[in-house]
């Protein structure tokens, strides 16, 4: 077990190192933008992993959570001139309140209620963001959201910003690993695998689920805030249910419940539409069919392929050794 | 003032019946296979496109032939979807079933965009006009929706309680393993359920096409409010879906008198969260 865990850390480290090296070889601004988006996706999916991956409760409201983070940080820093460092903290606090407030009604009962309420929540956020034009700018959006400085370094280019969020992603990833292999993480997995056993041990399922959802919401709002300051522009048109679904796709394609899987998923799913772009009109439908196939035939995601291959190799070598 | 309230209530009842049908349609699949069908709003859109896009605008058929042919077409598609998607899904974890149906919905939308094109359109001359009784103006579309939905609900009840396949469906809904032991072919029952659900989706699509333009996003809100209707009435309980749908339809229309009309859609979701907080079993108090 420990060796598997160690190998996983090795891969996680390797992905971060590769990501850090990529901007040295690419100076196309578009690709750097995609890299930024990729790492932001990673942060959000680390959070989603707690509730949907480990605890097994479907959260279809990531776009709403993300939007709350983005709008909180953008509005506070732009209208009141507060430092983006503080507004990002405010966004995370908003995520905490959101997780508690939305998690309590939807998770106090067993069942699929969380997926319905979060889906509805995303719609509510979108309707308000579109129609409260005085505050959110509606579909016109908010522009000139300030970038900020780390000490003496102003994060004015996309490459500099990329390194900043990469550092944030590493920290968030370490925190996630710490949580996954702690008492909390074990409780989360136990809720998914055997809810009855948990209750018989005297633990409160409701509290565990709400904790997982709150963590997911805090990661989500952090991602949203990072996105707002990265893009300098947000509009209500981008926070649709499709965005929420995209995050679950990342989680599912990579491998549910595994941090390495989340990272692989974020890399693959962010790049896939770019790679499939040559299909023109047919790229969306191909993309959807690929994801559907992976849901039906590869339920443990891309990381399970690695295990299968090494399993086959080991089997092959042991068979050879047996002869 | 009074006549406005009556008008709002009547159009609320009409929309409520639509939500009730949505609630019924996904509850049937949920009961039969334990899959929450997140592609149902797209199936409604598909029904509207098959009816409006192919049979009426494309082939210039009459409305009655159009409706019948669309129902047949949708039933055939239902068999395919059941065999390819829903039957393999029935034993998977909830996350995969939800995602697979979501992706099915996206595939349907993309297919619609490629086949019928992205431009929204409307069905000319289908259920237009109004009826005036005293001071109350009611559109024909609303009257037809109420009548058609009521007929649909009654027919479904008769089917479920008086015919053998219907009884088998209720058995499977109660206990899948026990009904398998009793010699009910669960897979066939699932296929029948999905066909019925698809036909209801198609009818919803046809019924709302006079109210909304036919476009790929026409039924997003209807689909969500149908989910809310199911929860408010009592999740997994068919009469509950009808009660929930009517409550949402009437409340949201009356809410548009007090709040700006753009926030009308929020009423259903506020009700959803309020019910989950205060009475999670729903109005009827029965869940499965």
pLDDT per residue as tens digits for the range B207-223: 998 888 899 888 888 99
Q: Is residue B70 part of a domain?
A: yes
B144 inside domain:
yes
pLDDT at B177: 87
pLDDT for residue B170 is more than 60: yes
What mean pLDDT is predicted for residues A155-161?
A: 86
Closest CA relative to residue B24, chosen from B163, B198, B179 = B198
B132 phi and psi angles, rounded to 5 deg: -115, 120
Asked if the model's pLDDT at residue B196 lies above 90, the reply is yes
Give phi and psi for B139, each to the nearest 5.
-80, 150
Residues A256, B95: C-beta atoms closer than 8 Å: yes
In a domain, B286, yes or no: no
Question: Residue A93: CB partners within 8 Å, gap ≥ 6?
Answer: none
> Using the beta-carbon criterion (under 8 Å), do B227 and A119 form an inter-chain contact?
yes
Q: What's the whole-number mean pLDDT along residues A94-107?
A: 90
More confident residue, B168 or A315: B168
- Does residue B287 form part of some domain? no
Q: Is A295–B99 a contact, with Cβ atoms under 8 angstroms apart? A: yes
Q: Does residue A221 carry a pLDDT above 90?
A: yes
What was the pLDDT predicted at A321?
Answer: 42
Give yes or no for A244 touching B (CB within 8 A).
no
* A56 with B114: Cβ contact below 8 A: no
| pLDDT score at A3 | 56
How high is the pLDDT of residue A29? 86
- Is there a domain that residue B76 lies in? yes
**Which candidate, A243, A229, A245, places its Cα nearest to that of A90?**
A229
Tally of CB atoms within 10 A around B170: 15
What residue has token string 């699949």?
A: B29
**B96 assigned to some structural domain:** yes
What domain range includes position B102? 2-278
Q: Which residues of A touch B244 (CB under 8 A)?
A: none
- Select the more confidently predicted residue: A182 or B262: A182
Helical residues (DSSP H) of chain A, grouped into ranges: 2-25, 29-48, 62-79, 84-107, 113-131, 133-136, 158-180, 183-193, 195-200, 205-231, 241-254, 259-275, 283-297, 302-322
pLDDT in tens, B77-121: 999 999 988 888 877 778 888 888 888 999 999 999 999 988 888
pLDDT digits (tens, 9 = 90+) for B140-161: 889 999 999 999 999 999 999 9
Tell me the pLDDT band of B288, cut-offs 50, 70 and 90: low
pLDDT higher for A319 or A209? A209
Tens of pLDDT, residues A5-42 = 677 888 889 999 999 998 888 878 888 999 999 999 99
Average pLDDT, chain B: 88
Residue B38 CB-half CA count within 13 A: 23
Q: Give the pLDDT score at B202.
A: 94
In a domain, B284, yes or no: no
**Is the CB of residue B80 less than 8 Å away from at least one CB of chain A?**
no
Backbone angles phi, psi at B157, to 5 degrees: -60, -45
Residue A106 has pLDDT above 90, yes or no: no
Q: Which residues contact A2 (CB under 8 A, 6 or more apart)?
A: none
The size of the A-B interface in CB pairs under 8 A is 105
- Give the model's pLDDT for residue A166: 93
Query: Is some CB atom of chain A closer than 8 A to the CB atom of B254?
Result: no
Q: Over 80: is that where the pLDDT of A1 sits?
A: no
Q: How much is the average pLDDT of A114-120? A: 89
Whole-number average pLDDT of chain A? 86
Contacts of B89 in chain A (CB under 8 A): 296
Facing A127 at nearest CB: one of B95, B263, B276? B263
Residue A86 has pLDDT above 70, yes or no: yes
| CA closest to A125 among chain B residues | B266
Q: Indicate whether B105 belongs to any domain.
A: yes
Number of domains comprising chain B = 1
Model confidence pLDDT, tens digit, residues A58-73: 889 999 999 999 999 9
Whether residue B276 has pLDDT greater than 90? no
B229-257 per-position pLDDT tens digit: 988 988 888 888 899 999 999 999 988 88
Query: Rounded distance, CA B267 to CA A236, Å?
Result: 20
Q: CATH no. for residue B250?
A: 1.10.3470
Q: Which residue of B has its CA nearest to A293?
A: B100
Q: Is the pLDDT of residue A322 over 60?
A: no
Residue boundaries of the structural domains of chain A: 29-240
**Block residue for tokens 């039957």:** B87
CA distance A198 to chain B (A): 19
pLDDT of residue A171: 94
Residue A197: predicted pLDDT: 86
pLDDT(A109) > 90 = no
pLDDT category of residue A226 using cuts at 50, 70 and 90: very high
- Choose, out of A63, A112, A256, the residue to mutate when testing the contact with B (most B CBs < 10 Å): A112
| Three-class secondary structure of residue A323 per DSSP | coil
């Amino acid at each position: 077990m420990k060796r598997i865990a160690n190998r996983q850390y090795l891969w996680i480290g390797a992905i971060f190192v590769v990501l850090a090296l990529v901007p040295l070889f690419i100076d196309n601004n578009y690709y750097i933008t995609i890299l930024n988006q990729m790492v932001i996706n990673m942060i959000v999916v680390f959070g989603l992993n707690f509730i949907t991956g480990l605890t097994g409760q479907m959260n279809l409201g990531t776009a709403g959570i993300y939007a709350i983070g983005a709008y909180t940080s953008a509005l506070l820093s732009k209208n009141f001139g507060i430092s983006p460092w503080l507004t990002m903290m405010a966004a995370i606090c908003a995520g905490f309140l959101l997780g508690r407030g939305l998690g309590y009604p939807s998770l106090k009962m067993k069942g699929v209620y969380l997926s319905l309420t979060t889906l509805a929540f995303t719609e509510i956020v979108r309707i308000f963001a579109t129609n409260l034009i005085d505050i959110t700018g509606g579909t016109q959006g908010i522009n000139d959201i300030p970038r900020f400085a780390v000490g003496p370094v102003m994060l004015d280019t996309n490459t500099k910003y990329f390194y900043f969020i990469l550092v944030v992603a590493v920290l968030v990833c370490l925190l996630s690993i710490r949580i996954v292999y702690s008492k909390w993480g074990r409780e989360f997995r136990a809720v998914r695998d055997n809810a009855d056993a948990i209750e018989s041990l005297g633990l409160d399922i409701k509290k565990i689920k709400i904790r997982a959802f709150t963590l997911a919401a805090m990661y989500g709002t952090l991602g949203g805030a990072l996105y707002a300051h990265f893009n300098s522009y947000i509009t209500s048109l981008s926070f649709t249910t499709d965005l929420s679904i995209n995050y679950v796709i990342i989680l599912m394609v990579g491998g549910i419940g595994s941090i390495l899987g989340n990272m692989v998923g974020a890399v693959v799913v962010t790049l896939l539409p770019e790679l499939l772009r040559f299909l023109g009109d047919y790229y969306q439908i191909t993309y959807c069919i690929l994801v559907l196939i992976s849901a039906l035939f590869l339920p443990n995601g891309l990381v399970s392929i690695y295990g299968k291959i090494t399993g086959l190799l080991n089997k092959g070598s042991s068979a050879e050794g047996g002869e | 003032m009074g006549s406005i309230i009556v008008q709002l209530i009547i159009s609320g009842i009409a929309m409520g019946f639509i939500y009730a049908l949505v609630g019924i349609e996904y509850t049937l699949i949920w009961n039969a296979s334990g899959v929450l069908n997140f592609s149902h709003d797209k199936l409604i859109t598909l029904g509207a496109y098959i009816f409006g896009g192919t049979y009426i605008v494309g082939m210039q058929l009459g409305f009655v032939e159009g409706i019948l042919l669309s129902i047949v077409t949708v039933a055939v598609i239902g068999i395919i979807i059941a065999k390819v998607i829903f039957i393999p899904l029935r034993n998977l974890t909830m996350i995969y079933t939800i995602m697979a149906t979501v992706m099915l919905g996206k595939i349907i939308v993309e297919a619609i965009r490629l086949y019928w094109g992205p431009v929204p359109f409307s069905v000319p001359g289908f259920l237009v006009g109004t009826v005036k009784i005293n001071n109350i103006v009611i559109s024909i579309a609303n009257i037809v929706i109420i009548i058609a939905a009521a007929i649909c609900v009654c027919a479904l009840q008769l089917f479920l309680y008086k015919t053998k396949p219907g009884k088998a469906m209720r058995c499977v809904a109660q206990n899948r393993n026990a009904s398998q032991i009793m010699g009910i072919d669960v897979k066939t029952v699932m296929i029948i359920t999905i066909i019925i659900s698809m036909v209801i989706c198609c009818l919803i699509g046809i019924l709302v096409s006079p109210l909304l333009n036919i476009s790929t996003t026409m039924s997003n809100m209807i689909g969500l409010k149908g989910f809310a209707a199911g929860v408010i009435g009592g999740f997994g309980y068919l009469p509950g879906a009808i009660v929930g749908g009517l409550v949402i339809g009437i409340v949201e229309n009356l809410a548009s008198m007090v709040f700006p009309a753009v926030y009308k859609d929020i009423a259903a979701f506020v009700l959803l969260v309020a019910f989950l907080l205060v009475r999670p079993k729903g109005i009827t108090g029965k869940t499965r």
